[in-house]
Structure 1
Amino acid sequence: MAPRIFPFVKLMTKFGIAGGAVYLTYSQGLLEGNVKGSEVLSKAKSAIPPAVEEWTKYFGWELPSAPKIDFSPTEMWNSGVHMSVSALSVAPTRACEYTHQGWQYLKNLAK
């Protein structure tokens, strides 16, 4: 009986964590826009290090210092969107070029 329940409990735990993450994201308003997301990110940057330091003191662990991440998620997101859209815009032209090159290769192979 117990071996059958363990996978179920494990699955329900994963669903609970995922559901909690989605609920927290929605309740914090992170799905509304970039400004709200930036505010929450700055809150997290200021709240997480003291909490980690407190827990490491409590458990007696010694962690290496966290690396400084110096980039803007907004800029990274915008550059990714820009690259994706530009790749989609040149896709028909590239497909024609690659098809032409393929036909030329096959013609040269047949000679």
Structure 2
Amino acid sequence: MAPRILPLVKLATKVTIAGGALYVACDSGLLGNSQQGSEALEKAKAAVPPAIEEWMKYFGLEAQLPSVPKIEFSPIQAWNSGVRWTISSLSEAPTKTTEYTNQGLQYLKDLTK
């Protein structure tokens, strides 16, 4: 009987963990709009360092953690720069094609001399 129950217990555990993670993500606003996601990130930034310090004291570890680096990355700016680069490349394509064709023809002429 035990060999039949063990796979069921494993499955129930996995489903419970996945359901709990999904519930926490929905409840904290991670799956909402960008404003809710930003608020959830700020809450996490405020809650994680004190929690780590508390656990370190609980386990008797007195190490100093390095400070969290400041990341200056804006997805909006990255998106805009990618769009600008694509549009710029597409607008320059006919000119570049003509230029490279002329260079290729000149190279072939120089080879035949």
TM-score range with shorter-chain normalisation?
0.5 to 0.7
Which residue pairs with 1:15 in the alignment? Answer: 15
Show the 5 A alignment for 1:37-48: 37-48=37-48
**Partner letter of residue 24 of structure 1?**
V
- Relative distance call for 1:63 and 1:32 in structure 2 (3 A) is same
User: 1:41-63 CA distances to partner (integer Å, 9 max, x unpaired)?
Assistant: 11111101111211121122456
User: 1:66-110 CA distances to partner (integer Å, 9 max, x unpaired)?
Assistant: 56243367628x64xx68xx7xxx9xxxxxxxxxxxxxxxxxxxx
Q: Quote the Cα distance in structure 2 between the aligned partners of 1:73 and 1:3.
A: 51
Structure scoring higher RCO (CA < 8 A, sep ≥ 6) equals 1
Confirm whether residue 53 of structure 1 aligns to residue 53 of structure 2: yes
TM-score using structure 1 length? 0.53
User: Which structure: larger Rg?
Assistant: 2
Kindly tell me the number of residue pairs found equivalent between the two proteins.
82
**Partner letter of residue 60 of structure 1?**
G
Structure 1: where are the runs of 5+ without partners? 91-111
TM-score using structure 2 length? 0.53
Match of 2:31, SS state, is: coil
Q: For the aligned residues, what is the CA RMSD?
A: 3.1
Q: Quote the Cα distance in structure 2 between the aligned partners of 1:38 and 1:46.
A: 12
Q: Quote the Cα distance in structure 1 between the aligned partners of 2:69 and 2:10.
A: 33
Structure 2: where are the runs of 5+ without partners? 91-113
